[in-house]
Chains A and B, each alone.
Chain A
Amino acid sequence: AQSVAQPEDQVNVAEGNPLTVKCTYSVSGNPYLFWYVQYPNRGLQFLLKYITGDNLVKGSYGFEAEFNKSQTSFHLKKPSALVSDSALYFCAVRDSENTPLVFGKGTRLSVIA
């Protein structure tokens, strides 16, 4: 069965600094990997995904993520954080058709002005 780990409950970063939100995964086959963001009282919004191809994936709002197969990681990054990036971030994985998308427990990002 697939699983996702987000080792940090909270990440604090100063505005303008680079940010990283960590994610590691476990699947039996090839992973489909996703990042979502959740703002208060809202549903999750899709940021980016990795299916196949280039290991560096670019997504919405200037976010990107790097797929590392040997480390089974898919860390979310942004070169320069904004206060408006403050939200709850979820990493998710599935490994084949008809298996559910499994979410990590979420990481709360706080960008301080």
Chain B
Amino acid sequence: DTAVSQTPKYLVTQMGNDKSIKCEQNLGHDTMYWYKQDSKKFLKIMFSYNNKELIINETVPNRFSPKSPDKAHLNLHINSLELGDSAVYFCASSQVESSPLHFGNGTRLTVT
């Protein structure tokens, strides 16, 4: 059973389009996250949700909007995609702040 699953795995789209990435965890964790990994493999937190409430919102353009319909799901919607949005986006979850994060396998977004 996959603990943290993301769809799609690959996403190729044109500038200006709107796209969504879905994430689901079956671990019963209270907190979910979105991280962005750039071409140099640098990982940066974008959002953190705890029990469907936004906890952390780093300096991310407001074109990015997370949505958490329940504590097992955290989706990422991106409006007006730009070339610089090309990256791998990782969803993760954890039970409490001191516990390890469990990562999905990532969504590779390519904006052309």
Contact = CB atoms under 8 A, between A and B. Distances in A.
A94 interface: yes
A100 B48 contact: yes
Interface size class of A (residues with CB under 8 A): 20 to 34
Interface string A34-51: 101010011111100101
Nearest to A48: B100
Given A42-B106, A43-B4, A90-B43, A100 B101 contact: no
Interface residues of B, number: 23
Interface in B30-68: 33, 40-45, 48, 55-56, 58
A43 B104 contact: yes
Contact of B100 (A38, A41, A49, A102): A49
Contacts of B40: 105
A42 B90 CA distance: 10
Interface of A: 32, 34, 36, 38, 41-46, 49, 51, 88, 90, 94, 96-103, 105-106
Given A41-B106, A42-B106, A100-B45, 19 more contacts: A32-B97, A42-B105, A43-B104, A44-B90, A44-B92, A44-B101, A46-B100, A46-B102, A49-B100, A97-B97, A98-B55, A99-B56, A100-B58, A101-B101, A103-B42, A103-B43, A103-B44, A106-B42, A106-B43
